[in-house]
Structure formats: structure tokens, C-alpha cells
Amino acid sequence: MLPRAQAVQFAGLWRAGSDANYVNYGLDAATLYKLANQYHTNGARLVSLRSYLDSGNRVWAAIWRSGSDAEYYNIDRTSSEFTALSAQRFTNDLRLVQIETYVNAGARYWAGLWRSGKDGEFFYAGLSVDQLTATNNSLVSQNLRLIDVETYVDAGARCWAGLWHSGTDDSAFASDLTAGGLAFLNLLRHAQGMEMIDVKSYPDTNGTQLWAAVWRATINPTTPDLTMDFEKLNAEVGDRFAAGQRMFNLSVYDVQCGASCPNTVVAPSAYNYGITRTALHCNNPPDSCPAPPKGSVVWYNWPVDVTPSANYVRLSAVNVPDQFLTLPFIDPQVKFRAGWRYSSGDWHHAVDYSRDDAATFHARAAAPGEVIFVGWDTWSGNTIILSHNLGGQKDSYRTIYMHLRNGAANDCANAWNLTIPWFATRPDLAADQANYLALLNATGCAQNPAARNPDPAYWGLDTDKIQVSVGQQVQRGHWLAWAGETGPGGNRNKAIVNTHLHVFFAHRDPADGNWYFFDPYGIYALPNCYPPGITDDLSTDCVRYPIAWQGGHPLYPPPFLEYEHVSLGFLGNWLRLSWEDPAALLWSSSNLADGRWAPVSATNNPYFAPFTSTASYFQLWR
């Protein structure tokens, strides 16, 4: 079995309700006892009790809901003690409603939760999955229904325990399911009138995460979330409570995502970024922008709900429903550098890409869209914003490309004419201003225009221009501009060249119509928590939120053909064709009707084709 990280994840089940609902985790035994007494006095009863290790210490997670009947729980019982206690409680009209097992100091222990009841009850442990299935089939015929299962490893073998109560309704049990298999089976059971009432996750011998679940017939649908860390659990409980749902079942399981990689959507302090408002760039879709007031901006916000007691993930902002993005470049030498956070631990709220040699590369459209902003941002330099329509909604996403180049002389002038005066309005950024002034002077961008000679390594060439204009429609992979390091946010250390592409991904939250940053990887963590390869699969335990990449993981956009009509002196008119993707080959056709395409025999890049009145068609294939 693969080694498991000391990190846990939660799976939870909710159903409609209007009663009290309390969810607590990380409780030591003493705190659990204190809370249980407090909630009992206040008219709440335990409905779920689970245990896990936190930094080697045994802790508990528990759910309470409104109730007035008798209630007991016990922990740290050996198998024989637990069996005897359960028999005693049965004679006192108490029924075991949940079981839990765990190992402390090499010895197996059991915990249980009892509530008032007079119906039938059976509990079996130490079963193989086949024995559990056979036992369940036998007990179903005796009008008993499975309500809770546990699975554990004992002497190297996977064992199962089950708890049955009286019942005559439809029920089902399944194990060894992949996440996709569980999702499909849950839909099928729902269509059959059954709802999930218990769910468990466990690794197979290869470390693959598998699932088991129990379904019962009910008219009250249940809603699962099977991939929650602590931060997401907090947000889910609050959001679902406000929506009239109550958590009734909780499961805890180990994950292979490193203990240093919890989701950290919520930064210690607010991060909201304002970008100049224009005739096309406003909070609303670009075709409905009113005239912009002077100095106004469009705010792009951290995806956080702020309350007097705490800050929570804004789930409606990060639960992006569409997989529509490809990588914003084709160059295979470009690598992932930072995601939601920097390696320093600071929050980034974006994604950075760059090459090891610090060379520039083409920044390309990550999805089809409309160019709604091209301009100089006082902090992030040359910026392009694309608006994307998805799911029948206009302007539902935006991608924001920053630190771009737009000609060395132009960018140097903007640094002095736009950013340096802006610093005068931001005394809180005095240190950043000093660093930026040092960078400008050290890289040939002097205040005196006559003394300027911008270093190409930092500033690029005067020919490194933005390739699109406001209002233009672009296709996926369309060349937007050259990656650079413009603006004080583009380079804070004059000792290094920091050519890179910084991209904000923003989602219009349908709940309030505002813009919020999201992580297209669904990871929201430090850089080492992301897959190492630029196009690696994202089926990892660190992904707990929706992925926005097409196909579920980042891929290069399709090869894009750039072309222009050129004249080569006495040679006449030609069509200049060029492409960036080194794996793409140029094909041509003289008649689209017959569907025949042939590879161009000379595939030099760029390729010059005679520009004549005879129709010729070209395309790239990877």
C-alpha cells in the first residue's frame, strides 16, 4: 500500500431541514464531552461522530441536530467492551445508530452513538466485502436495512462492519467504486427513489481512492459533497444552512495530497483589484456599459464572504460550472510558476507562466472572446482583458493578461508618465516606488527621454507590440501580445529578468453579478501542490473545487496560423504564413469541396506562398 499523507478530507451529506444544526471538528475527547453536554442541554442531539488523526493526535468531528430523546455516545472501547455495551443499551431501549473504529497505539478501538428506539438492530464486524454483501442480503429478507458501514484494515486485510435497523423500504449497498462510478450510481439510485445516507472512502492496495455507500428509499433528497478540506467544510455548512439544508452525515478519510496543501482560498486580508473602467470595460456586459465616470474602475474581488465572526469561501464564486480554458500560450518551454499562492506563501490570486531562460513568448487567448480592454495598468503594466460568453450567458468569464510588452520606448514612457505620478497618490507603497525607480534607472529607462536606452532583456524591442485592439473578436489561441514584466508588479528585483505572463481568471458570480477571481486548477494552494508538468492530469486529491480547463486538465490551444500579405520586391506578392507550435505541420488545399488536404512539401516557418488570384487554403495540424 502506498504511504498516506497525514492530511484528511471530509465527505458530507445534507438534506432539507429547518432545525438547529451544529458541525464541529478537531475536538479532543474532553472538548467533545463538554460540547455534547452543552448541546444536549440546548435541545440538540448527536447524529454523526467520526474520528481522525491531526498531527498524530486523536480528534473528533461531530454533527448535532435538534432532538429531545435519550442520547449516549462512547469512545475508546475494545471490541468485547463495545459488544457488551451495545447489548446493555439495547435492553434499555437505546439503539446503536452509528459506529466508528480506529487504531490507537497499535490496538483497535470502537466508538458508538446511541439514540432512543425499540426497533430491531444487528451489528457485525470483521467481515470481508463479500460476507458483508451476503449478510446484507440475508438481513434484507428479514426486514432489516443497512444504515451504516465502516471499513478498516486488520492484519493486512480489508475488513467491513455493518449496522442494520428494522425497515421494509428499498435499500442498496455498493463498494469499490471510483469517484466517477459513485457519482453515476448515485444518479441511478436517485432515479430509483433512493438517496445516499452513508458514504465512506478508502484506498485500495495501489493507493487509488475508492468509495462505498448506502442508499435508502426516501422522499427527502440528499446532497453530497465528497471532497472538502477544513476551509471548504466551513463554507459548505454555512451556505447550506442558509439554503435550508442540514448536515446529517460526515465521513473523514486520508488523502495523498500533502499536509502542506490544504485549500487556502481565504487570504488573511482582502484582495480586490481595480482596473480602469472604459466604454467597453465595466462591471456589466460590454454592450451595456454606461459612460465611465472619470477615474472609475472595475473591481475584481477575492472569492470570500466576510462576516463579523469569520471569513468564508464564497462558494458561488469558485464553483465555476464550465470547462472552457486552454493554456494561454503554445511555446513548450513555458512552465507553470505560481498559482493561487506564491512559493513564499503570499497570496497571488492568479497564475504565472514563464521560461527558464527568461525569454519572451506569445501570450495567447485562453478561450474565444471579445477584447474589452487594452491599456496600461499603473501596477501591472500593459493589460489585455477578454470577455467570454458561456452557458448562454454573456460576459460570464473574463481572462486578464498582464505585464505584457507594447514596444520598449512606449513602455518606458508609460512607466514615467503614468505609474510614477500614480505612486504619489499611494504613500503606502513608498518602498515599492523606490524599488521601481531603481529598476527603471538600472535597466536603461531613465527619466530623461534623451538618455533612455531600454535594456531589451527587460523591456524587449520596439517591435514587441500588442497584437489586438478593443472590440476585436478573437479565437482560442489568438496571439495577443508578448509576455514581459511591465509595471511595478512585473518586476520587484532589478537583479533578475522576470519576463512572465500573469493571468487573472475571473467569474461573474450569478448570485450578485460581481467579479471574483478563481483558480482554473481547482487547487487554491502553494505552487508545489500543483502537478509538475504543464499539461499533467488533475485527478489529484488536492483538487477540491471545479476545474475550468477543457477536458479537465490544461492543454495547449490548437495550433494557430498567423498570416499577412507581403511584397518581396521584384519577386511579387506573397502570403507570409507563420506558426508557433513546433509540432504543427502546414497543409494546403486548392478545393475545399473535395475535402483533400496535402502537407506542404516545404514547411519552413515562416512559409511564403505565392499570392495569386487562384484560391488556396491552408491549415495547421498537430
pLDDT, tens only, 355-403: 999 999 999 999 999 999 999 999 999 999 999 999 889 999 999 999 9
pLDDT at position 430: 95
Q: Which of 164, 161, 134 is nearest to 146 (CA)?
A: 164
pLDDT at position 132: 97
Unique residue bearing C-alpha cell 486523536: 58
116 DSSP β-pair partners: 94
Report d(CA 64, CA 23) in Å as an integer: 7
pLDDT at position 595: 79
User: Are 500 and 517 contacting, i.e. CB atoms less than 8 angstroms apart?
Assistant: no
**3-class state of residue 66 by DSSP:** strand
pTM value is: 0.92
- The pLDDT-based confidence of 304 (bands split at 50, 70, 90) is very high
- The pLDDT-based confidence of 613 (bands split at 50, 70, 90) is low
User: Are 404 and 380 contacting, i.e. CB atoms less than 8 angstroms apart?
Assistant: no
Report d(CA 418, CA 534) in Å as an integer: 35
User: Are 483 and 363 contacting, i.e. CB atoms less than 8 angstroms apart?
Assistant: yes
pLDDT at position 20: 96
- The pLDDT-based confidence of 412 (bands split at 50, 70, 90) is very high
- CA atoms within 13 A of residue 62's CA, in its CB half-sphere: 24
Share of the chain above pLDDT 70, in %: 99
186-231 pLDDT tens trace: 999 999 999 999 999 999 888 889 999 999 999 899 999 999 999 9
What is each CA distance from 422 to 369, 419, 425, 426, 505, in whole angstroms? 31, 5, 5, 7, 25
> What's the CA angle centered on 366, arms 363 and 368, to 5 degrees?
120
DSSP 450: G
Unique residue bearing C-alpha cell 500588442: 466
As a residue count, the chain comes to 622
Q: Which of 107, 103, 40, 41 is nearest to 71 (CA)?
A: 40
pLDDT at position 622: 83
**3-class state of residue 43 by DSSP:** coil
Report d(CA 520, CA 434) in Å as an integer: 34
Q: What mean pLDDT do residues 40-63 have?
A: 95
CA 405 centroid distance within chain: 29
Distance in Å from the first CA to the final CA of the chain: 40
Unique residue bearing C-alpha cell 509540432: 583
DSSP codes joined into one string, 528-559: GGS-SSTT----STT--S---BGGGS--PPPP
SS (H, E, C) 350-394: CEEEEECCCCCCEEECCCCEEEEEEEEECCCEEEEEEEEEECCEE
Residue 571 has pLDDT above 80, yes or no: no
Report d(CA 408, CA 327) in Å as an integer: 26
pLDDT at position 402: 98
69 DSSP β-pair partners: none
- The pLDDT-based confidence of 602 (bands split at 50, 70, 90) is confident
Region of poorest pLDDT, from 43-57, 417-431, 562-576: 562-576
pLDDT at position 604: 85
- The pLDDT-based confidence of 4 (bands split at 50, 70, 90) is very low
What is each CA distance from 79 to 49, 86, 103, 396, 572, in whole angstroms? 18, 11, 12, 56, 91
Residue 2 has pLDDT above 50, yes or no: no
pLDDT at position 5: 38
What is each CA distance from 290 to 116, 282, 297, 300, 376, in whole angstroms? 64, 8, 13, 18, 21
Report d(CA 119, CA 95) in Å as an integer: 8
DSSP codes joined into one string, 304-352: EEE-SS-EEE-HHHH------B--S---TTEEEEESSB-TTS-B-SSEE
Report d(CA 594, CA 211) in Å as an integer: 52
Query: What mean pLDDT is reported for the chain?
Result: 94
Report d(CA 195, CA 181) in Å as an integer: 16
pLDDT at position 616: 80
Residue 464 has pLDDT above 90, yes or no: yes
Q: What is the CA radius of gyration of the chain?
A: 30
What is each CA distance from 218 to 98, 137, 193, 297, in whole angstroms? 19, 20, 7, 51
Q: What mean pLDDT do residues 258-285 have?
A: 94
- The pLDDT-based confidence of 615 (bands split at 50, 70, 90) is low
Region of poorest pLDDT, from 207-221, 307-321, 571-585: 571-585
User: Are 60 and 49 contacting, i.e. CB atoms less than 8 angstroms apart?
Assistant: yes
What is each CA distance from 494 to 381, 458, 462, 504, in whole angstroms? 16, 9, 21, 24
Residue 494 has pLDDT above 90, yes or no: no
Q: Which of 229, 295, 296, 291 is nearest to 264 (CA)?
A: 229
The domain limits of the chain are 8-254, 272-329+355-552, 561-621
CA 265 centroid distance within chain: 9
User: Are 228 and 10 contacting, i.e. CB atoms less than 8 angstroms apart?
Assistant: yes
- The pLDDT-based confidence of 13 (bands split at 50, 70, 90) is very high
Report d(CA 622, CA 581) in Å as an integer: 8
Cell numbers at 607, concatenated: 512559409
Share of the chain above pLDDT 90, in %: 84
pLDDT at position 3: 32
pLDDT at position 258: 81
In this structure, what is the dihedral angle of CA atoms 204, 205, 207, 213, given to the nearest 10 degrees?
10
pLDDT at position 383: 98
Region of poorest pLDDT, from 35-49, 136-150, 554-568: 554-568
78-106 pLDDT tens trace: 999 999 999 999 999 999 999 999 999 99
